[in-house]
Structure 1
Amino acid sequence: MVDRMRQAQLDEWGGPEVLHVVDDAAVPEAYPGHLLLETISIGLNPVDWKTRAGSGVADQLPASRPLVLGWDIAGTVVATGHDSTGFEVGDTVFGMAGFPGLGNAYADYVAVRAIDVAHAPTDVDPAELAGTPMVSLTAWQALFAIAELVAGQKVLIHGGAGGVGHMAVQFAVNAGATVFATAGPSDQQFVTELGASPIDYTKGDFADHIDKVDLVLDTIGGKVFTRSLDVIADGGRIVTTPDPSQLDIARRRGIRADWVFVHPDQAQLTEIAALQSAGKIHTRIDRRFTLAEIAEAHAYGEQGRAHGKIVVTPR
């Protein structure tokens, strides 16, 4: 077992250039309740580059420097701490480490809380696994833990081709809902293949192309949130990911409204893993980078052009 590793660090908030890779960082220990993972792949999310720039969950992180960002990870267990029940050396796991605190995932080795990860299906690409946790847990918690989605309901999902959106479409379809999803012209076919009826948001008001629905999952916010209120049936609800400040607008109209802030959940990840293994859901991977290219990966993500998830592999 090596005692030094590569790690992408930052010493200040700023642009992608503040990320720098060192090759002599100490390999962490597997403390009680923790696992030490050898990283297979790391998933990036908008919160990664937002936090690097000083927003996102920057206010949740310690003031000490350097910091190591990154939360979504797939890896192989190389050591187990005391009370890491259910995991053994050699297991492949995936999860969302420590969010919204430090995840430290931008590294060759990562110590994670055992409760933050789940056994990975052996028949799924590790890159897909690493791209799954944050977006899938956000979608799962919004649809099932908060909105209590059931078969037969009608659902509108905004940003149906995005990270959270494309997972939410698949979950809702698999649950027996009738699903509509907004997407750009180039993603109409993709959304259709996921099982939703696509709505091209570039062709006028989306609300003109849909009847009343039981649930709206809003991943956009702003005017999209407020316009969505007009398509919610009596007794329906809206769940939003970007901005809790808008909830009162809906509630004043008698519409149930909630904000989802994702949290790690091993049981939910285990259910998601089973769906992946059964081929019922897939995570769309847009582009892969190496750890040495972490700054480039952030710069690409900030452009907002990714069709699916960005993943980073150690080499």
Structure 2
Amino acid sequence: MRFRPLRSSPQIVRDDPPAIPAEMSAAVFDAVGDPGVLHPATIPTPSPVLSEVLVRVVAAGVNPIDAKTRAGGGVSGAITHYPSTLGFDFSGVVVQSPYEAHPFPVGTEVFGMVPFPRSGGTYAEYVVVPTLSVARKPVSLSHVEAAGVPLAALTAWGLVVETAHAHEGQRILIHAGSGGVGHFAVQLAAYFGAHVTATGSAANLGWLRELGASVVIDYATTRFEDVVGDVDVVIDLVGNVHDDTGTRSLTTLRPGGLYIPVPTGAWPEYADAAADAGVRTTSYKVIPDGGVLATIARLLESGAVQVYVDRVFPLADAAEAHRALERGHTRGKIVLSVGEA
């Protein structure tokens, strides 16, 4: 497949960058708990090493892993000190680039993902990130839009392309197709020629069709296993967290089909049941990859894939952003506005 190259010239800010302050504003938490533990604070500005860049964050994505970590799950075990800062997604401008980080000189507009197992760090005015976890921001996207891409789109790419190996005529069922990861997964699966069935709420069914789903199912009124069967792959972004969606999904697969549960730590729960049902199951954990992110950027530039931002909150209202995320029914992504473009 051929992609047209990214236009890079408008992404360089030619003015001399401002001095980097010793301290920065951030949304932090001092102990795990409900969204109310998040609060604004002033903390030291980080410094990059030779393989990293310092990015002035314009916008930061909000993801379920952030809320899980804040509540004591997710990657909370990686937290070494408090106050701690959440956030893996960002879009912004490089303000410090040691000589080994030459692909992204000062002034380059970039987006990317802070790697696991760090507990995050993008809910702040500045973030340090390895150059291998960064790509140039698509020119056609705002920083708010770009901040909604990295973790969700990289996860969707890993599920659809690297694990399911989506191809022409393949039958894929995607649960929660209108969420952050889901709306990218539906688009990528359709882009690579798969026949996509997606579950979602009644309000999102029309939108799921626009994203590329051939069949859409209202999970509130229809048991998906009654209308779907013999699929090659199930990408399950719900699992058995709220009901038995994961267990029922195994019955929709053809013999030898592949079930991919995404909720954190879910895979072992289904191993025996999958074997009994004559299907396969595997886990997937996203890792930052600037090369894959650059490929996704080209798809975004071409219009083959789009990002949808549901709501934007100021950094100081990170707690409200988490409350909105945990209420569910988000269409696409929630993003924090951090600084000026």
| Same fold per superposition (TM over 0.5) | yes
172, 175, 192: which one aligns with 1:155: 172
1:120 pairs with 2:144: no
Q: Does 1:270 align with 2:294?
A: yes
Pairing partner for 1:19 from 38, 44, 53: 38
Could you tell me how far 1:165 is from its partner in structure 2? 1.1
* Structural mapping, 1:160-175, within 5 Å: 160-175=177-192
Letter in 2 for 1:15: D
Question: 1:247, 1:292 → 2: CA distance?
Answer: 42
Q: What is the distance in 2 between the residues matched to 1:116 and 1:301?
A: 25
Q: Could you tell me how far apart the structure 2 residues matched to 1:236 and 1:85 are?
A: 44
Which residue pairs with 2:13 in the alignment? none
Distance between the aligned counterparts of 1:205 and 1:16, measured in 2?
Answer: 33
Alignment of 1:1-315 (within 5 A): 1-3=19-21, 4-23=23-42, 25-62=43-80, 64-196=81-213, 197-222=215-240, 223-242=244-263, 243-244=266-267, 245-315=269-339
Q: In 1, are the aligned partners of 2:254 and 2:279 still within 8 Å (CA)?
A: no
Q: Which consecutive segments of 4 or more residues in structure 1 shift more than 3 A? A: none
Of 27-36 and 14-23, more deviation after overlay is shown by 14-23
Cα drift, residue 247 of structure 1: 2.7
Q: Partners of 1:71 and 1:33 in 2: how far apart?
A: 18
User: Which consecutive residues of structure 1, in runs of 5 or more, have no partner in the other structure?
Assistant: none
The number of equivalent residue pairs is 313
- Equivalent residue letter for 2:140: D
- Contact in 1 for aligned 2:160/2:185 (Cα 8 Å): yes
Write the deviation string for residues 254-291 of structure 1: whole angstroms up to 9, x where unpaired: 31111112111112111111100111111111110111
RMSD of aligned C-alpha atoms? 1.4
Contact 2:76 2:119 in 1 (8 A): no
What's the offset of the Cα at 1:119? 1.2
C-alpha distance in 2 between matches for 1:295 and 1:202: 28
Shift of 1:252: 3.1
SS of the equivalent of 2:296 reads helix
Q: Give the Cα separation in 1 of the matches to 2:150 and 2:230.
A: 31
Normalising by structure 1, what TM-score?
0.95
Indicate if the aligned counterparts of 1:159 and 1:183 stay in contact, CA closer than 8 A. yes
Cα distance in 2, alignment partners of residues 126 and 248 from structure 1: 44
Corresponding residue of 2:14 = none
* TM-score (norm. length: structure 2): 0.88
Q: Which runs of 5+ in 2 are unaligned?
A: 1-18
Is residue 240–residue 258 contact of structure 1 (8 Å, CA) maintained in 2?
yes
